[in-house]
Amino acid sequence: MLVVKGSGSSGKSTTLKLAFESYLQYLVRLNDGVPVEYLYLTKREVAAVIKLGKLRVGLATRGDSQNQVKLGLSFFAAHKCRLVVCATRSRGKPLKVAQDFSLQKLKVQAEEWKKPKDVGSKNQQVANHAFAKEVAGWLQSASRGNA
C-alpha cells in the first residue's frame, strides 16, 4: 500500500489522477486493455479498481477527510484489492484511517510518501507530473508478476 500524504492544495489528487492515467496507459500497452470499475471519476478525482487477472489494484485520490478516505478504502476492501494507493492529509484522522486499513485489511505496513507543496502554478504542475511518474513507476513495479 502506498499512501500519498500532504497538506491541502499540495496536489495530491491531481498527482494521483495523473499516475492513474499513466498506469492505465502502461497496462493497455501490455495487455491490450484492462477492466476497471469506478467508484467515482471526475476531471480531477478518481477512485477505481483495476483488475489484472487475480490481482485487484485500487487507487483513490480523495483524501482530505476521514470519510473520503474510508469511502475509497471500503470500496477496495469490497473488491479484495491487494495493491492500494490513496491520498490523505499529512496527519490526523484521514492518515490514521489509511494506516489502519493497511495493517488490518492488507496486513502490510503502508509506504508513506509526502507530496510537497510547490509555490506557483507552473512549479506545481511540473512537480505534480514528476511525482505522478514516481507513483506510476511504483504501481508498475508492485503489480509486475502479481497478476
Ranges of each domain in the chain? 2-143
Parallel/antiparallel/unpaired status of strands 46-52 and 55-60: antiparallel
What pTM was computed for the model?
A: 0.93
The whole-number pLDDT of residue 147 equals: 56
The pLDDT tens digits for 49-102 are: 999 999 999 999 999 999 999 999 999 999 999 999 999 999 999 999 999 999
The whole-number pLDDT of residue 121 equals: 77
The whole-number pLDDT of residue 119 equals: 73
